[in-house]
Amino acid sequence: MFKPEEYDKILKTQKLGKNCISFKQVDSTNAYAVNNQVAPFSVVVSETQTAGRGRSGRKWESDSGDNLYFSIVLPVEDPAKLLPLNIIMAYALADSLKNRCSLKVKWPNDIIADGKKMAGILLETSISGAKVEKLVIGVGLNVNSTEFPDGIKEMATSLKMQTGSDFSKEEVLADIMKELEKYWDDLDGYIKKMPDMWKNYSAFLDKKIAVHKDGVKTYYLERGLSGSGCLFVEDENGTVSELVTGDIGYDFSS
Ligand code: BTN
């Protein structure tokens, strides 16, 4: 059970995550944050979700109380910062967990260990004109789960599966808030450094990747990250292009 009082006691941020809205069960922490008046810098966390949302309209399995499901509301107005924020959130997650487990990022924002997915990130926004009205960053992080449903168990992992140890969800969440606040406090500076930092975080730099886009799978070599957070990929003819959307599959080898 996630204990908000314990989380409050160990949280070391100035503002990020100080207001914690905690549920035993909710449909989706992202949906709650998008549809309700939730102050900027708040975090919404739930023990389980009945309708957890994943990227590209997929479902996020959220029945297990052993994992973290949370959403952060940030005051971001510029739509150009959305893709970079996906990457920055992934960096913050990897940083906050690095003392527990060695993690890499799979573009744009899956956190992987040993070739399997440990966390996913879903940004949701309401946009008015050219401005973002509300930005919600949702994170599902497999902490202490050791079993996953059919269909995802081949590609899912957790902190516990990687290390053999149980972790305090309150400590893990407090550490994530601390790392994200570090990035937030110099967001423009970190967005500038983001492409260079990719070299240390990417799981597949200069490796073969299968890109799934509009139902088509294409193999490329991953060649780095652009200043706007797009992925440079090289096709079999040596032509490099920028990937703005799409998914890198978990089918790495064939
Ligand atoms: C992905 O598909 O990789 C993104 C998954 C994001 C899941 C999290 S769980 C907390 C938050 N609430 C949701 O409904 N989705 C996100």
State the pairing for strand pair 208-213/131-141: unpaired
- Cα–Cα–Cα angle for 88, 253, 99, nearest 5°? 40
Distance 109 CA to ligand 1 centre (A): 11
Type of residue at 7: Y
Element (H, E) at 181: helix 169-185
Q: Which atom of ligand 1 is nearest to the CA of 109?
A: 3
Give the Cα separation of 26 and 28 in Å (integer).
Answer: 6
Q: 2, 47 in Cβ contact below 8 A?
A: yes
Residues near ligand 1 with C-beta < 6 Å? 28-30, 49, 52-55, 58, 60, 69-71, 110, 120-122, 138-140
* Average confidence score pLDDT of the chain: 95
Residue 133, helix vs strand vs coil: strand
Whose Cα sits closest to atom 2 in ligand 1? Answer: 54
User: Which of 43, 53, 85, 248 has most ligand 1 atoms within 8 Å of CB, for mutation?
Assistant: 53
What does the block give as tokens for 196? Answer: 């260079």
Please tell me the predicted confidence (pLDDT) of residue 213. 85
Q: Which atom of ligand 1 is nearest to the CA of 28?
A: 14
pLDDT bin (cut points 50, 70, 90) of residue 1 is confident
Is the pLDDT at 150 greater than 70? The verdict is yes
Distance 53 CA to ligand 1 centre (A): 5
Distance 52 CA to ligand 1 centre (A): 6
Q: What is the SS3 assignment for 79-132?
A: HHHHHHHHHHHHHHHHHHHCCCCCCEEECCCEEEECCEEEEEEEEEEEEECCEE
Span 211-233, pLDDT tens digits: 988 888 999 999 999 999 999 99
Is the pLDDT at 254 greater than 80? The verdict is no
Distance 90 CA to ligand 1 centre (A): 13
What does the block give as tokens for 190? Answer: 């970190």
Average pLDDT over residues 10-18: 98
Q: What is the DSSP string of 38-68?
A: --TT-EEEEEEESS-B-GGG-B-----TTSE
Give the Cα separation of 171 and 177 in Å (integer).
Answer: 10
Whose Cα sits closest to atom 11 in ligand 1? Answer: 138
Span 73-112, pLDDT tens digits: 999 999 999 999 999 999 999 999 999 999 999 999 999 9
Closest CA to 198 of 65, 52, 82, 84: 84
Whose Cα sits closest to atom 3 in ligand 1? Answer: 120
Give the Cα separation of 20 and 194 in Å (integer).
Answer: 28
Is the pLDDT at 252 greater than 80? The verdict is no
**Which residues neighbour 101 within 8 Å (Cβ) at sequence distance 6 or greater?**
113, 118, 159, 162, 163
